[in-house]
Amino acid sequence: MGEDLRKKLMGEVLTVEWEVLRVHAERDRLFFVSTVLDLVEVGCALATNDRGRIAKWVDEARLRRPTAGELGMDSQRVFEFLIVQPFVLVRDEARR
């Protein structure tokens, strides 16, 4: 993983309430990232199309789409997020 890419993505990690993220989930562009993974590392894997690592994380349910129940969660809940076009990676800020 390129150090320049990693630094760039590190500077793009922000926090936002679920209300803002919900539209991305409804468009099937949002992925939840497990707290055991580094959000920037997952972003780098997506940006460089590292299919092996991405498939492993999906198989382990460490990278997943939200469930129907999660789509209706509290709109004020805060998440850490990173945009790697066309996807939005999110992690629950409260569970870090």
What's the CA gap between 80 and 72, in Å, rounded?
18
pTM reported for the whole predicted model: 0.90
What's the CA gap between 84 and 49, in Å, rounded?
11
- Tell me, letter by letter, the H, E, C secondary structure of 5-58: HHHHHHCCCEEEEHHHHHHHHHCCCEEEECCCCCHHHHHHHHHCCCHHHHHHHH
Strand partners for 32 = 64, 90
Q: Is the pLDDT of residue 95 over 70?
A: no
Domain residue ranges in the chain = 3-95
Q: What is the pLDDT of residues 23-67, one digit of tens each?
A: 999 999 999 999 999 999 999 999 999 999 999 999 999 999 999
